[in-house]
Amino acid sequence: MDGDRMEIDGGIMEGVSTSGGLASSSAEGPVVKNLSCLLGLPVRVQRIRAGRSQPGLRPQHLSGLEMIRDLCEGKLEGGEIGSTEITFTPGKIKGGTHIADTKTAGSVCLLMQVAMPCVLFAATPSELHLKGGTNAEMAPQIDYTVMVFKPIVEKFNITFNCDIKKRGYYPQGGGEVVVQLSPVKELSPINLTDRGTVTKIYGRAFVAGALPIKLAKDMSAAAVRCIRKEIRDLYVNIQPVREPDDRACGTGSGIIVVAETSTGCLLAGSSLGKRGKNSDKVGIEAAEILLKNLKHGGTVDDSLQDQLIIFMALAKGVSRVKTGPITLHTQTAIHFAEKLTKAKFTVTKSEEEDPSKDTYIIECQGMGMINPNL
């Protein structure tokens, strides 16, 4: 702490990384920016993305930071592309309509993670117009956000709507998603400790732009074959789709496969196509990620793990989530959530009947954030 300002080293742990859960200050690091905004705590972040081949802020980090600045009428110093140090001084969170445009294929899903906790504690409902990549590398795909993140996060007593207006792919982006959110008085804690049994497996394999539907069918068939080897008794329904031309910008392909359990858990695997990558390989990659997530016995998959940390920290009461091995993103998110709030996390190895399972319980005594505006 420096006076009333929090000093953050963006190079710590994974510091300022690129994928969603981040710790840090690049605008992808939802934890620091949200908590700064919610707690009214100024922060200075140095050594942003210090270890990267391109250090400093990238375009999508900057659009995330600028959106947070606008959401809470804050002040941002050092906000330019390539900057390795920023100072952010928050003001009062306000609802209403906000627009963030990465102008690249920067991920709209990461922008949503950046903005969402803040606007939950606004005085009025919010509508976020997020522009960029909807199905981009190094970030959750929008299908994952809608099919997995949304229903699980709503267990914290949140309701939101996510409307995919247009899909955008690497390199030009051009996608748009509109998120509508109502504010909450407080967040309820969650208890996700019982995985249950897998009851259905479904998904979508998509192509857009110049690519033939045959690629989607090949991805789907390869994923189904791969899952069948491990799980024989369930119908696997992966729909091949071609995105309508007026609802997609550019050319892209990919697949998401979701497993739903008897206790309402949702776990997924996904993969994106790219030039020169065999479509069977894309399907198999997604299936293998799903199977790996099912194998560890956790109630959430490895991508969702770190995304839940900020909500657990803000909730009122004790949250418990059973997971597979703790990811670096999650460790980083916990580090900053504890540093900035009064939330307390403990991670313990889960005592399983089945010794082949590598599971952990993340428990959090939340800080019990109350919305002062409601």
Nearest by Cα to 207 from 257, 165, 169, 258: 169
Distance separating alpha carbons of residues 352 and 349, to the nearest angstrom: 9
CA atoms within 13 A on the CB side of 14: 18
Q: 329 an active-site residue?
A: yes
Contact (CB, 8 A) for 128 and 178: yes
Distance separating alpha carbons of residues 236 and 198, to the nearest angstrom: 11
Tell me the Ramachandran region of residue 304: left when phi exceeds 0, alpha when psi lies from -120 to 50, beta otherwise.
Answer: alpha
Distance separating alpha carbons of residues 34 and 43, to the nearest angstrom: 11
Q: Spell out the residues 6+ positions from residue 155 whose beta carbon is closer than 8 angstroms to its own.
A: 188, 190, 192
113 annotated ligand-binding residue: yes
Distance separating alpha carbons of residues 360 and 165, to the nearest angstrom: 38
The residue from 61, 98, 296, 329 that is catalytic is 329
Distance separating alpha carbons of residues 142 and 110, to the nearest angstrom: 10
Peptide linkage before 244 cis (omega within 30 of 0)? no
Distance separating alpha carbons of residues 362 and 191, to the nearest angstrom: 10
Contact (CB, 8 A) for 166 and 174: yes
Q: Decide: helix, strand or coil at residue 43.
A: strand
Distances (CA, A) of 258 to 102, 242, 329: 28, 19, 22
Distances (CA, A) of 298 to 317, 348, 360: 22, 13, 8
In the annotated binding site for ATP, the residues are 113
Active-site residue numbers? Answer: 329
In the annotated binding site, the residues are 113
